[in-house]
Amino acid sequence: MSEPTKDQRIWQVVAAIPRGRVASYGQVAAMAGLGRQARYIGRALGKLPTGHNIPWFRVIRSNGQIAFPEGSDAYNEQVGRLRDEGVEVTTGRVSMSRFQWQP
């Protein structure tokens, strides 16, 4: 059996983020064994196959900010999904002290 690809390792970490919690891009990179490659996380999430059930919307910037431009369809979808799970989003930010995943 082959080792998981870098993208697959990222997807596995993101899949493990519990409902009602968020993780930063840097946190996901570190947990996937990618060190400080936080910028790669967004690219990998953009490659998710159609019909996946990986909770991409639980990944945000380390300062709690939603990465998508405010008002964009992706921003609105991410904020809506987070709120559906009980995560408070205020002016495009999530309180990392309250909602960050601590595995």
Identify the three-state secondary structure at position 94.
strand
pLDDT of residue 7: 95
pLDDT of residue 2: 78
Q: How is the chain split into domains, by residue range?
A: 6-99
User: Of 2.40.30.20, 3.40.50.150, 1.10.10.10, 3.40.50.970, which CATH number belongs to 6-99?
Assistant: 1.10.10.10
Give pLDDT, residue 82: 98
Q: If residue 75 lies in a helix (H) or strand (E), which one and from where to where?
A: helix 73-84
pLDDT at 3: 84
The segments of the chain whose pLDDT lies below 50 read: none
> Residue 38 in contact with residue 29, Cβ under 8 Å?
yes
pLDDT at 6: 94
pLDDT at 4: 86
Task: In whole angstroms, give the CA distance from residue 24 to residue 41.
Answer: 10
Per the DSSP assignment, residues forming a β-bridge with 9 are none
